[in-house]
Chain A
Amino acid sequence: MATYQEFIQQNEDRDGIRCSWNLWPSSRLEATRLVVPVSCLYTPLKERPDLPPVQYEPVLCSRASCKAVLNPLCQVDFRAKIWACNFCFQRNAFPPSYAGISDVNQPAELMPQFSTIEYIVQRGPPTPLIFLYVVDTCLEEEDLQALKESLQMSLSLLPPNALVGLITFGRMIQVHELSCEGIAKSYVFRGTKELTPKQIQEMLGLMKPATSGQQGKPLAPHDDSASCRFLQPVEKVDMNLTDLLGELQRDPWPVPQGKRPLRSTGIALSIAVGLLEGTFPNTGARIMLFTGGPPTQGPGMVVGDELKTPIRSWHDIQKDNARHLKKATKYYEALANRAAVNGHGVDIYACALDQTGLLEMKCLANLTGGHVVMGDSFNTSLFKQTFQRVFGKDYSGEFRMAFGGTLEVKTTRELKVAGAIGPCVSLNTKGPCVSDNEMGVGGTCQWKICSLTPATTLALYFEVVNQHNAPVPQGGRGAVQFVTQYQHSNTQRRIRVTTIARNWADAQSQIQHIESSFDQEASAVLMARLGVFRAESDEGPDVLRWLDRQLIRLCQKFGQFNKDDPNSFRLSESLSLYPQFMFHLRRSPFLQVFNNSPDESSYYRHHFVRQDLTQSLIMIQPILYSYSFYGPPEPVLLDSSSILPDRILLMDTFFQLVIFHGETIAQWRKAGYQEIPEYENFKQLLQAPLDDAEEILQTRFPMPRYVDTEHGGSQARFLLSKVNPSQTHNNLYAWGQESGAPILTDDVSLQVFMDHLKKLAVSSSA
């Protein structure tokens, strides 16, 4: 077998799976001693150009409590046309359509390379995609104009048969009727009154009139059109809607001096949810909220309209001084759950210089798999391009989005699923493979992911339930099957099944094997997700302490050292980077709220818990490239020592893309040498990071903030806050004439961190 590196890579490419451990400890006790739980990162819709979907129904295990899908791990008796479920050992006969099955004529799902396979199934009539725009009109003229243009542009990107709807809000909420001709009609709601879904549907005229019994039939068609008044196929109302958007005016209600505009985001969303709920339940739909400020009235309000009352900060929250926080959060959670139940995703595009209440509203996107995009203005390329990218298409011309997904996890007997962390909600399905312990969203073996993209990645945590004294099945393997049902963007219903298996290992005898099967990247991300998940509810310091303890325990378990001798401490190669990840994670905005607004924290965390491993790692430990005349671009340590006068640095933190020109380079550039033909090479040097950055920008969603700065520039803070402060004002002189830039911080450097870690790890008293 190849190295674990290769194995891991291969598995990831094929199944979209990264496991923390690639050998699984065979007993519960051992598993807990490993500190990092048996878990994996799973990307359900990982793009697989090489995987053509099959056009038939999957074959299911006939045991009602199992219903696992036939997979390559099953034992098959070709002659008896019988297969044994590898999860419950139920023996099942093949359906009649498999009559021709034989050793040499196997269906795809039995082939090993199809451990991940996708089925296209027929489930009722195809329903078009639905896009409901919820647009804030309390914007600056310029912003609104930009937004209007973006929205108009988006109409051309939508699938022609997609249904679109438009809700605008400010002080009032207007639900625009798109079907009418002549006078433009809209239904108006006030932003301060909470309405039940039923009321909303009644007021929109969506309820079947109770009295029309006797006229029921003739009225029926009329009713249909009535229910669709607000959601019309793009191709039909394209012009209409473009005009309507063009005529959108800023909210006309005067905003007195010293006040915020009254923005009824809460009700607007509730109407959007109610509208879809009443007309298209369980159909793929996106509610796209475009907002330019915090909700300031009605349920879900985040801050009052008095400008003298600033919007809540972390400080306020810690002091329990944010009066609307809990109420608003609860309100949006309830909304999010309703949307999730109906399979509708909610996107939030928030562009404002101040906070917009993402903290309160985040669950809308988090629970439904929607996007969150945060920018300074709708009139920035960050927003415009990000928004455009929402409608991006894949290699086969399909939209990179899927709807109404459910993920079901099945495990073999020794394993149980403890929970998931990602943009999902629990479907509360109890089953034999559900663990009593919860990690993340647990207590279920099914989750709903209302909106997915190929990058959507969930962290799944398992519990080994095999007792210590129970024999490990010889050569037995633990298996996990992921069944993802979803609505493809082309309206097909599809089912993707991924089945993985790992060998059991006895932790006492095979600890080295287990250690070497450790995937420190995946583990770092998985632990980070646990940390972030905890941070949502726990105090920041507690989470850090918990992370530290886990790290110390891991080091104690796998480190080689002499007791009480920090200098003797060594970690094997498979764990060597792990402490460093943890160091950066501790400093990351996911866990540190200092210098971040609550909105920003929410935004960062939102993306952290849904991106795949690579992106997540970038977020934890940004990548730093150095460009110089001395050689090709090279990755360098994310350390203050990498900041040199004659270098250009390119830092990718996922959210930001920073190009930093060293002091000398900056001076040269200022002097205009790049314009002089003789210094063509300098010009090329300047261009190199730009090209690389461009490449990253092309693929990243959401668009990162692009920062071009130089030594001493104010924006250099993005870089300085990320690098390991190996040189600070405290130790600058102690380190002598080392090149690099001192960071003015009291934060500990990686060196100090490691020293402490070693000391604690080797301490016999720990």
Chain B
Amino acid sequence: MNVNQQPHMASPYGQPQPGYGGGHVPAGYPAQYAPYNGPGSAHQQGPPQGMRGPPTSGAPPVTPAQNYSQFGQGDTQNGPPPMGAPPQRPSVSQPYTPGAVNLSGPQPPYNQQFGALPNSMQQMTNQMASMQVGSTAPSPAGPGYAPPSVSHSPVSAAYTHSAPPTFPPTSAAPTHPPPTEGVAQPPPQSYYGAPHSAQQSFPNAAPAYSAAGPTHPQAPPPVSQQSFPQAPPVSQPPFSTGPPPGPIPGPRTHSYGGPPPGAQASFQRPPLPASHPAAFPGGPTSHPAAFPGGPTSHPSAFPGGPPPTSAPSQMPGVIPPQPPVSQPTSYHSGPPPTAAGFTPQGGPPQRPPLSGMQAPPHMTSQGPPMVQANHVPPSQPGMPPVPPNASMSGPPPQPGLQAYPPQQNGAFGQVRGPQPGYAGPYAGQQNYGAPSAAPAPAPSAPKRLDPDSIPGPIQVIEDDKANKGSEPFTTGVRGQAPPLVTTNFQVKDQGNSSPRYIRCTAYNVPCNSDMAKQSQVPLAAVIKPLATLPPDETPPYLVDHGESGPIRCNRCKAYMCPYMQFIEGGRRFQCGFCSCVTEVPPHYFQHLDHTGKRVDCYERPELSMGSYEFLATVDYCKNNKFPQPPAFIFLIDVSYNAVKSGMVGMVCQELKTLLDYLPRENPDMESNIRVGFVTYNKVLHFYNVKASLAQPQMMVVSDVADMFVPLLDGFLVNVQESRVVIESLLDQIPEMFADTRETDTVFGPVIQAGLEALKAADCAGKLFIFHSSLPIAEAPGKLKNREDKKLVGTDKEKSLFQPQVGFYNTLAKECVAQGCCVDLFLFPNQYVDVATLGVVPTSTGGSIYKYTYFQAPTDQERFLNDLRRDVQKQMGFDAVMRVRTSTGIRATDFFGSFYMSNTTDVELAGLDCDKTVTVEFRHDDKLSEETGALMQCAVLYTSCSGQRRLLIHNMAVNCCSQLADLYRNCETDTIINFFAKYAYRSLLSSPTKNVRDSLVNQCAQILACYRKHCASPSSAGQLILPECMKLLPVYLNCMLKSDVLQPGADVSLDDRAYLRQLISTMDVAESHVFFYPRLLPLQKLDVESTTLPVAVRDSEERLSRGGVYLLENGMNLFLWVGANAQQELLQNIFGMPSFNHIDPSMTSLPALDNPFSKRLREIIETIRTQRSRYMKLMVVKQEDKLELIFKHFLVEDKSNNGGASYVDFLCHMHKEIRQLLS
């Protein structure tokens, strides 16, 4: 179960590795890891899983020693034998020490080989360090591990054994590698990738180990083992030679050993884990990964294989590898269990994978026994034993222990195995581990999985940060997945668009539609054409091709881009999309160099960059006329409710200053944007603010049935020229309507008014509508209250998401035709039918902001910040977006805020820097692996200065003929983003339940397909998740629990409709945090640090009563204060001496002069600036009634609405997958 397939992990790494491929050196981390992982993983995988399995499974009970021994045997058999299986074994007994020794021994070789290693080493060390940090935290877990450590000896033994065996296998693997080599490298890399994860795991493991001082020693040994395994894969080429295994391990070990003692320790630990069960977690993982990489399937196979093969006794050995695998990912826990589970069932199947590893098979044979060990024991045996022991030995390990028991109990018992691993890895674990709570649960629900043992987002996020955050991401290499959205990284545009503009669900696209169908992995790109770049990245260059306009392919009209191949000495070019050959216009001619590149390639952004802009010619303009500068029109509701809530006064006051900050391209110039003002209740008031007037003039239009604009000259004005009049107007509006009794409002005519004004001025623009209530006044677009909670949950529920009248759809169409973008600010006190009011904003590229029960004092800041940002942000008007793709795939479906009048052109009346468009692709032919799949997204728009431009984003991805490649190069966050948009749109046409079911179903199919085609054969009871998708279940569960798909009784229809529409334009970063909120612990905040504290998982169990946490999801920001929070902490934050003095209604923290308060407020500011909407701070006191709301965001827990907890959901998914497989 737990075993996440490292393969995926590997893949990520793999990519890095490619880079490394050249030299391991390049990517310090990857390389290092890779090596480690590779080798280790390969072997270990099988074993690790098994290993972990054992631990978790409660292998403890199982004779860990045996397991180990078994493993050991197995392992030893595999590779290490020469290495000194003996030593290892001894080490095993003395696990660590020996391991260390071994390591030392082997390490050297590695070092030599890697050469680069030092760096990597360092990095490793660093990582380790970090890991350690994590681990330190885990240390508590350590205890848990500690037990393992105890067992370690045995483990080590096991490892040692295993190590040897592993090598052999590795050697076998090597064979594989060779073939792959060229290619193989990647795989290994992938393995390595796994390793990385593994590393992570290591750290974790390390911590665990670290906790157990002794364990560490053990760890080393395992490491060495790992090294072996790794060595093979990594070095595969080198390894293949034979020595590799040995050396490899050596190097690593060396590295480990080499590093400062501390480092070593840490390293060792990791390695240890890898090698041993404990080691496994870390090392193993890597190993597994490695294995998988080699034989993609292998990994799994290995894992499976080893455990089974190892048989109970062997299992341990085998298991160890697996554990590592699982370890890297949260899976570790999984793997072990799986191993366990597999052992029983899959033992044999696993073997097959081992096939490569003959030894493994044997192991497998042994496996059966393992099975017995069972599930739990077996896999864990190796590992488990330790844990158990540990647990047994020391209560502290409890977490681990507990974990195990539960696993054992549940089908997931296997999972338990991994759990231990996980437990180790998770920093949070420490807490947990430490917390008595953890133990408690275990006992209470023995059946339950230990949450620590299942894949956790935080771990993945932190790993990615650690691995990818430091190096710039270059876009030149096709098919590599970018760092996660949660990672800070710099992008270098080398021919493909930055991931800030385009993120794909998969960077390796299946070559044909059969594969795509089989995998069920959606092929989609989330495009954010106008994304804001960090200051250190250059915005797209502006290219002017002169009067004849941008150079384009004659046939498909694709724009000049790096994929155009110049031929015939540069006189023609061949289109990368449709292969058509087009003449190069004389003014664009340039000679080619000896490689066939144009000489000016690097001088022209369109030939060397992924993103750039063309200056459009008049042919690209509406009516063949250059556009007028756009206009902003502010339409303010002045009915009773709006005035009373304070909104009107606030808007008017704010606009006075805000108008100085209208978007402009050149900061020194005045903005070209003109502004106009309208107020309305059931009639509309236009204002003439012509500069020549002494006083503004109000023009009332009561003919709302047939809206028109009463004036032309003087309505849209330049802010500078009419400043005095405008200020006078904004001063007077609140006064004029202060005594209004009018409660009815109109809405349709308001939009019409803005639209007509833009039409009259013949320009594009944006409407800012500030609206308060359901438009019930007699007018077009009049609505009635249709909120009927009884419909929720029925087949008619979907009608509530559909607009109640068709009027707005027609209106939206007209708006789009004119380039009239509508932003809607809602201030409702009751139902306003967001589903209907939102039609126009969502069809015109606008946004909706909703401030329910708006109260000036508390919501002012949030609203004004949103308004400021909305007014100031860069945007394009009257845009058309077209996505062209290379032959073979086609953009078939689009999601976002826009309108489409045909099947290809996405029409956006307005497109701002926060809007994304998600595009789904489907095959309509076969793709070739050589050319890959290309896409070009061209956005024609009018800039805020009225310039017509073409923004081009190019993206190339690889095509793969192996499903494994697909699974290795995909991005779960993006997939979830796509699923959410897809599901939320489906709500319009299908009952909510169907939508939910089909989501679960599709995910199950994706995972089942992986299991069937990519994972090494293993017991059906084992849950194997692709490394890249191991978070799919947790995120999917979050999505299923969202208010939209599973509303609680307190969630209004408006809220659901609002969120539904909001999601449709979210980019990956926003959707990620929206579904999985960020929960930052503050009690141990490092006031000197400039980085945010490491988040913890969204579960109540992770909250300590003595802590203070910050939770944000892009919409809400909570400060949760534990009931036992230290007085000093409270004093620092609130300036209040005690918990009881805290006022839960405060919306901002007092500015106190202490470093903690400053830092905390800084953090809050940082978080707010990261999001496109301002989040109001809510202070939640533990056990206060507000806590219910807060708990809603602890998405790993069971929700009040009936949403499953993560653990439960994972079980459910597993069941689904098993059903699909059987």
Give Cα distance in the complex from A187 to B714, angstroms. Answer: 16
Please state if B701 and A193 are interface contacts (CB–CB under 8 Å): no
Pick the contact of B697 from A184, A187, A199, A203 — CB < 8 Å?
A184
Give Cα distance in the complex from A205 to B703, angstroms. Answer: 11
Cβ contacts under 8 Å, A190 to chain B? 703, 706, 708, 710
Cβ contacts under 8 Å, A193 to chain B? 703, 706
Give Cα distance in the complex from A189 to B711, angstroms. Answer: 11
Pick the contact of B700 from A182, A187, A247 — CB < 8 Å?
A187
Please state if B695 and A184 are interface contacts (CB–CB under 8 Å): yes
Number of interface residues of A (CB under 8 A): 24
With A174-B710, A252-B711 known as contacts, the answer to whether A186 contacts B703 (CB < 8 A) is no
Please state if B712 and A203 are interface contacts (CB–CB under 8 Å): no
Cβ contacts under 8 Å, B1049 to chain A? none
Cβ contacts under 8 Å, B701 to chain A? 187-189
B residues 1020-1038 touching A (CB-CB < 8 Å): none
Q: Verify if A1 is at the interface (C-beta below 8 Å from B).
A: no
Please state if A187 and B702 are interface contacts (CB–CB under 8 Å): yes
Q: Verify if A204 is at the interface (C-beta below 8 Å from B).
A: yes
Please state if B699 and A183 are interface contacts (CB–CB under 8 Å): no
With A183-B698, A188-B686 known as contacts, the answer to whether A195 contacts B732 (CB < 8 A) is no
The chain A residue with its CB closest to the CB of B707 is: A190
Task: Give the one of A174, A184, A253 with max B CB within 10 A.
Answer: A184
B residues 696-748 touching A (CB-CB < 8 Å): 696-703, 706, 708, 710-714, 729, 732, 735-736
Give Cα distance in the complex from A253 to B759, angstroms. Answer: 13
B residues 256-299 touching A (CB-CB < 8 Å): none
Please state if A172 and B703 are interface contacts (CB–CB under 8 Å): no
The chain A residue with its CB closest to the CB of B756 is: A190
Please state if A172 and B706 are interface contacts (CB–CB under 8 Å): no
Give Cα distance in the complex from A193 to B708, angstroms. Answer: 11
Q: Verify if A185 is at the interface (C-beta below 8 Å from B).
A: yes
Cβ contacts under 8 Å, B708 to chain A? 172, 190
Determine how close the nearest CB of chain A comes to the CB of B729; give it in whole angstroms: 7
Determine how close the nearest CB of chain A comes to the CB of B831; give it in whole angstroms: 21
Cβ contacts under 8 Å, B702 to chain A? 187, 189, 202-205
With A252-B712, A252-B713, A252-B714 known as contacts, the answer to whether A185 contacts B700 (CB < 8 A) is yes
Cβ contacts under 8 Å, A195 to chain B? 703
Please state if A184 and B712 are interface contacts (CB–CB under 8 Å): no
Q: Verify if B693 is at the interface (C-beta below 8 Å from A).
A: yes
Cβ contacts under 8 Å, A187 to chain B? 699-702
The chain B residue with its CB closest to the CB of A173 is: B710
Cβ contacts under 8 Å, A182 to chain B? 695, 732, 735-736
Determine how close the nearest CB of chain A comes to the CB of B704; give it in whole angstroms: 8
Give Cα distance in the complex from A177 to B736, angstroms. Answer: 14
Determine how close the nearest CB of chain A comes to the CB of B694; give it in whole angstroms: 8
Cβ contacts under 8 Å, A189 to chain B? 701-703
Please state if B712 and A186 are interface contacts (CB–CB under 8 Å): no
Give Cα distance in the complex from A254 to B762, angstroms. Answer: 13
Please state if A186 and B699 are interface contacts (CB–CB under 8 Å): yes
Please state if B683 and A183 are interface contacts (CB–CB under 8 Å): no
Give Cα distance in the complex from A172 to B702, angstroms. Answer: 13
A residues 229-252 touching B (CB-CB < 8 Å): 247, 249, 252
Give Cα distance in the complex from A203 to B703, angstroms. Answer: 6
Give Cα distance in the complex from A247 to B690, angstroms. Answer: 12
Give Cα distance in the complex from A247 to B696, angstroms. Answer: 12
Give Cα distance in the complex from A203 to B696, angstroms. Answer: 22
Please state if A183 and B706 are interface contacts (CB–CB under 8 Å): no
Please state if B699 and A174 are interface contacts (CB–CB under 8 Å): yes
Please state if B732 and A188 are interface contacts (CB–CB under 8 Å): no
Give Cα distance in the complex from A247 to B725, angstroms. Answer: 15
Determine how close the nearest CB of chain B comes to the CB of A237; give it in whole angstroms: 16
Determine how close the nearest CB of chain A comes to the CB of B715; give it in whole angstroms: 9
Question: Per-residue 0/1 for A448-470: is the Cβ within 8 Å of any B Cβ (1 yes, 0 no)?
Answer: 00000000000000000000000
Question: Per-residue 0/1 for A362-396: is the Cβ within 8 Å of any B Cβ (1 yes, 0 no)?
Answer: 00000000000000000000000000000000000
Pick the contact of B699 from A188, A199, A247, A249 — CB < 8 Å?
A188
Please state if A183 and B700 are interface contacts (CB–CB under 8 Å): no
Cβ contacts under 8 Å, A172 to chain B? 708, 710-711
Give Cα distance in the complex from A253 to B761, angstroms. Answer: 10
A residues 618-660 touching B (CB-CB < 8 Å): none
The chain A residue with its CB closest to the CB of B713 is: A252
Give Cα distance in the complex from A254 to B760, angstroms. Answer: 10
Please state if A188 and B712 are interface contacts (CB–CB under 8 Å): no
Cβ contacts under 8 Å, B699 to chain A? 174, 185-188
Give Cα distance in the complex from A190 to B693, angstroms. Answer: 23
Determine how close the nearest CB of chain B comes to the CB of A137; give it in whole angstroms: 12
Question: Per-residue 0/1 for A191-203: is the Cβ within 8 Å of any B Cβ (1 yes, 0 no)?
Answer: 0010100010011
Determine how close the nearest CB of chain B comes to the CB of A398; give it in whole angstroms: 38
B residues 596-617 touching A (CB-CB < 8 Å): none
With A247-B693, A252-B712, A253-B712 known as contacts, the answer to whether A185 contacts B698 (CB < 8 A) is yes
Please state if B703 and A183 are interface contacts (CB–CB under 8 Å): no
Cβ contacts under 8 Å, B695 to chain A? 182-184
The chain A residue with its CB closest to the CB of B702 is: A203
The chain A residue with its CB closest to the CB of B715 is: A252
The chain B residue with its CB closest to the CB of A195 is: B703
Please state if B710 and A183 are interface contacts (CB–CB under 8 Å): no
Cβ contacts under 8 Å, B713 to chain A? 249, 252
Question: Per-residue 0/1 for A243-276: is the Cβ within 8 Å of any B Cβ (1 yes, 0 no)?
Answer: 0000101001110000000000000000000000
Please state if B700 and A188 are interface contacts (CB–CB under 8 Å): yes
Determine how close the nearest CB of chain B comes to the CB of A530; give it in whole angstroms: 45
Give Cα distance in the complex from A369 to B700, angstroms. Answer: 33
Question: Per-residue 0/1 for B681-695: is the Cβ within 8 Å of any A Cβ (1 yes, 0 no)?
Answer: 001011100000101
Give Cα distance in the complex from A43 to B712, angstroms. Answer: 50
Please state if A183 and B712 are interface contacts (CB–CB under 8 Å): no
With A203-B683, A203-B703 known as contacts, the answer to whether A183 contacts B711 (CB < 8 A) is no
The chain A residue with its CB closest to the CB of B736 is: A183
Cβ contacts under 8 Å, A254 to chain B? 712
Please state if B706 and A188 are interface contacts (CB–CB under 8 Å): no
A interface residues with partner B (beta carbon < 8 Å): 172, 174, 177, 182-190, 193, 195, 199, 202-205, 247, 249, 252-254
Name 7 interchain pairs, CB-CB below 8 A, sorted by A: A186-B698, A187-B699, A188-B710, A189-B701, A252-B711, A253-B712, A254-B712
**Which 3 A-B residue pairings sit nearest by Cβ, starting from the closest?**
A203-B702, A188-B710, A252-B713
Known: A187-B699, A188-B699. 13 other contacts (CB 8 A): A174-B710, A182-B735, A183-B697, A184-B697, A187-B701, A188-B700, A195-B703, A202-B702, A203-B683, A205-B683, A205-B702, A252-B711, A254-B712
